[in-house]
Amino acid sequence: MKLRDVKEILDADVIVGEDKLDMEVNTAFGADLMSDVLSFAKSGSILLTGLTNDQVIRTADILDIAAIVLVRGKRANADTINLAKELKIPILSTKYILFETAGRLYAKGMVGCVEKVDNASARN
Amino acid sequence: MPVQETNHISYQRSFYIEGGNFNYAGIVSTSIKSILKQMDFPSNVVRKCSIVCYESEINVVSYARKGVVNLTINSNTIQIEVIDEGPGIPNIDLAMQEGYSTATQKIREMGFGAGMGLHNIESYSDAFIISSELGKGTRLLMTINIKQ
């Protein structure tokens, strides 16, 4: 699906990256713990999170995360938004909770970037 | 007699990290990532280097007074050495264990401190050396092979 579809499905606001809504995104990872994101998230995935600080943007940049979806109606502060603009990482904000966000995307065909963590290939 | 493969240094640069300043945590890793990307290294090599660098940088900011990252690119490997001046690690085996953490609330608020850092660094490195001296600091040396 396209990032535009993610926006529609989640009734999300686009905070950064209005020009990137045609980007193709098909996998996702959801966590508030950036250490877990670094362990398991795959490049090109979208990141669903309730954490809104600079480290979310840095982590997304390090991993080449396609876009960040802030859940539970969270908003990032102006500095964090500027960092995302600088690093060209789209941010969407949805009022759905993490569970609903993931479920709604999954129902429309998006899958996890890894299914289970006992798969050693998660780190490669 | 076979010709021995050489591993010439082709690029070297140092970056400084200020301990305790979470506002800039990750800025060195972002720079190193962008340098490696510009040099056209394969994306999985860039990814591994960026992750080990970022986790190390977070550790320095979280626990140490200051630190330096030495990036060395050879013909076969990329080495990232992180040396900090800080409290050191009393028990390295324990610190390496997944889930073991001495993180403060502040570090946890950042999304870190779950005891995954050193473990992640080791698993993303092709070779990993850690040494630490109590009251002085910690040195990490991560080697990533350019040909994966």
Residue A121: its pLDDT value, please?
44
Averaged over A9-24, what is the pLDDT? Answer: 98
Backbone φ and ψ for A60, nearest 5 degrees, come out as: -60, -40
Which sequence spans correspond to the domains of chain A?
3-111
Q: Specify if B12 maps to a domain.
A: no
Q: Which of B44, B51, B123 sits opposite A62 (nearest CB)?
A: B51
Average pLDDT over residues A49-74: 96
Distance CA B14, CA B5 (A): 26
Q: A3-111 has which fold? A: 3.40.1390
**Chain A touched by B124 (CB under 8 Å):** yes
Inter-chain residue contact B26 with A54, CB threshold 8 Å: yes
Residues of B in contact with A51 (CB under 8 A): 111
Residue of B148 and A96 predicted with greater confidence = A96
For an interface test with B, which of A62, A80, A88, A123 has the most B Cβ atoms less than 10 Å from its Cβ? A62
ipTM over cut 0.90: no
Which residues constitute the domain of residue B39?
19-145
The pLDDT of residue A62: 95
CB contact under 8 A, B29 and A51: no
Give the CATH number of the domain where residue B110 resides: 3.30.565.10
pLDDT at A100 over 90: yes
Residues with Cβ within 8 Å of B83's Cβ and at least 6 positions away in sequence, in order, are B67, B68, B70, B137, B138, B139, B140
Mean pLDDT of chain A: 94
Chain A positions touching B21 (Cβ under 8 A) are: none
pLDDT of residue B3: 56
**Residue ranges of chain B with pLDDT lower than 50?**
none
Which of B30, B33, B55 lies nearest to residue A38, judging by beta carbons? B55
Strand order across the beta sheet in which B9-18 lies:
B9-18, B66-74, B77-85, B137-145, B127-133
pLDDT at A120 over 70: no
Residue B27 counted as domain residue = yes
Structural domain tally of chain B? 1
Q: Give the nearest partner residue to A62 out of B22, B29, B110, using CB atoms.
A: B29
B139 contact A CB<8A: no
Choose, out of A55, A70, A79, A87, the residue to mutate when testing the contact with B (most B CBs < 10 Å): A55
B140 membership: H or E segment, kind and range: strand B137-145
